[in-house]
Amino acid sequence: MVPGCAKLMVWGCAKLIVCGWAKLIVWGCAKLIVCGWAKLIVCGCAKLIVCGWAKLMVWG
């Protein structure tokens, strides 16, 4: 009985630790990718708008 319980506990802990780390890494990567894209899109749009307005003001 005892070895079986010990095995279960060790496996359970190992699974939790591995899954926890995996989740953190996946979430971290997902966040970086999503935030990176969002930043690029926002900055790109902002640049286009600002440059567009500047051109209009200068040329207009």
Q: What is the pLDDT of residues 1-60, one digit of tens each?
A: 578 888 888 999 999 999 999 999 999 999 999 989 999 999 999 999 999 999 999 987
Q: Which residues of 16-55 are buried (b: 16+ CB within 10 A; e: fewer)?
A: eeeeeeeeeeeeeeeeeeeeeeeeeeeeeeeeeeeeeeee
The whole-number pLDDT of residue 60 equals 77
The whole-number pLDDT of residue 33 equals 92
In the numeric block, the tokens 């966040």 are attached to 31
Task: Identify the domain containing residue 41 by its residue range.
Answer: 2-58
Degrees, nearest 5: CA angle 47-52-54 = 95
Number of folded domains that form the chain:
1
Cα atoms found within 13 Å of the Cα of residue 52, Cβ hemisphere only: 6
The pTM of this model reads: 0.48
Alpha helix (H) residue ranges in the chain: 2-59
